[in-house]
Amino acid sequence: MEEKMRPYPATVNDEAMYSHAKAVAESMLGEANVKVRPQVMAAEDFGFNAQKIPAAFFSVGVRDEGTGKVHHVHSPHLQIDEGALPIGAAFHAAVAMEYLNKHELVEWEFKSKTGRCTPVAMMLTWQCYSELLGCYSLGGTFSRPSSPCTWTPPCRWAPSAPGQARFTATITGKGGHAAGPQHVVDPIVAASSAVLGLQQLVARATDPLQGAVVSVTFIRGGEAFNVIPESVTLGGTCRSMTTEGLSYLMKRIREVVEGQAAVGWCTAAVDFMEEKMRPYPATVNDELVYGHAKAVAKSMIGEANRIPAAFFSVGVRNAETGKIHHVHSPHLDIDEAALPIGAALHTAVAIEYLNKQASAPRPSCS
């Protein structure tokens, strides 16, 4: 069943990221409250993330001393100390913000409290939801620097975020001196034709009612003014509001690049890097979970500040600066007052969901 249920890799902590997270935890909770967790044979899907980026996996104790009972995390009888939830949220935020502090270009007193990953400061993360709810993931957020502090999701249970894949293509010809183009096979010309051909995939080969984007974001060739290079590498992304549409774009990108290269007497190799950078499937909100998250947000923030969806955004525009930067900009400067609202919303959604499901039977997570 490897196609449907990929085997979990071993979860291996990155040494530098582990040290960073440990230092943050000790500064927040004190050294006596930070302990090395013994190894267990429980697999974690977090291992997939740890294969791709420096990562550290840690646990937050949630034992309820008031009841004196301990149940397995997948048990329907699980009862936790809810006082641990804001601690876990704050720890996630602190780990991210302290790390971003090293890479941010905004110079200010609270530099470590903003950055390109502000959603981290407002969520318990998918892993916390998975632990709390057994098999179920529940919600996700994205910060929106162009909006004030409101809940602004894009849609209901239709696709709310596109599928995405990255690609590179290397077009190879025969290099030589620019003074003798008749003696070379020019990959620059072939690559240029490929880029133009890729623009037709959305304009002329995709249903206008189906959202799709193909973007070539870089081209690398020679460096000398008087030499035609041996090869050219280009790359970018493709996106579709359906997973099927994404598969179609990937198929056609390969065909267009290889075809245009052949027209220019070149060869081409297209790589979607699926082993290292798995294509994102389209994000489709579940109807029932959408209804639940909508009700919780409405009760917290009010009817006027919501648009129906399960995946939502929290406005973080800083009205004092009057500047708006993209969420991936190192110059991003947010309104930090929005962070506790986002964190509280995540916590409330999880807790209210747990209250409803406490006595309901749940499927096995095996």
d(CA 303, CA 295): 10
The better pLDDT of the pair 78, 158 is held by 78
On the question of pLDDT at 59 being above 70, the answer is yes
On the question of pLDDT at 108 being above 90, the answer is no
On the question of pLDDT at 57 being above 80, the answer is yes
d(CA 293, CA 310): 6
d(CA 306, CA 291): 12
State the pLDDT confidence band at 359, using cuts at 50, 70 and 90: low
State the pLDDT confidence band at 167, using cuts at 50, 70 and 90: very high
The better pLDDT of the pair 260, 317 is held by 260
Strands 311-315 and 140-144: parallel
**How many C-beta atoms surround the C-beta of residue 76 within 10 A?**
13
| Tokens linked to 13 | 């902590």
State the pLDDT confidence band at 146, using cuts at 50, 70 and 90: very low
d(CA 323, CA 331): 10
Q: Which residue has the tokens 């359906």?
A: 242
3-22 tens-digit pLDDT: 778 888 888 888 888 888 88
User: What is the average pLDDT across 172-180?
Assistant: 94
Share of residues in the chain with pLDDT > 70 (%): 78
State the pLDDT confidence band at 221, using cuts at 50, 70 and 90: very high
On the question of pLDDT at 154 being above 60, the answer is no
287-330 tens-digit pLDDT: 777 777 777 777 766 666 554 446 667 788 888 888 887 777 77
Task: Note the pLDDT of residue 250.
Answer: 94
> What's the 3-state SS for the chain?
CCCCCCCCCCCCCCHHHHHHHHHHHHHHHCHHHCCCCCCCCCCCCHHHHHHHCCCCCCCCCCECCCCCCCCCCCCCCCCECCCHHHHHHHHHHHHHHHHHCCCCCCCCCCHHHCCCCHHHHHCCHHHHHHHHHCCCCCCEEEEECCCCCCECCCCCCCEEECEEEEEEEEEECECEECCCHHHCECHHHHHHHHHHHHHHHHHCCCCCCCCEEEEEEEEECCCCCCEECCEEEEEEEEEECCHHHHHHHHHHHHHHHHHHHHHCCCEEEEECCCCCCCCECCEECCHHHHHHHHHHHHHHHCHHHCCCCCEEEEECCCCCCCCCCCCCCCCCCCCCCHHHHHHHHHHHHHHHHHHHHCCCCCCCCC
The better pLDDT of the pair 114, 258 is held by 258
Task: Note the pLDDT of residue 153.
Answer: 45
Task: Note the pLDDT of residue 180.
Answer: 93
User: What is the average pLDDT across 75-98?
Assistant: 81
The residue ranges of every structural domain in the chain are: 60-157+285-357, 159-271
State the pLDDT confidence band at 157, using cuts at 50, 70 and 90: very low
d(CA 26, CA 22): 6
Average pLDDT of every residue of the chain: 78
The better pLDDT of the pair 262, 50 is held by 262
Count Cβ atoms within 10 A of the Cβ of residue 28 and give its class: 0-12 exposed, 13-18 middle, 19 or more buried.
middle
Best CATH choice for the domain 159-271 from the list 3.30.70.360, 1.25.40.80, 2.60.120.260, 3.30.1360.120 = 3.30.70.360
The better pLDDT of the pair 180, 342 is held by 180
User: What is the average pLDDT across 54-67?
Assistant: 83
The better pLDDT of the pair 110, 136 is held by 110
- Please tell me the pTM assigned to this model: 0.48
d(CA 84, CA 76): 19
Q: Which residues pair with 141 in a beta bridge?
A: 312
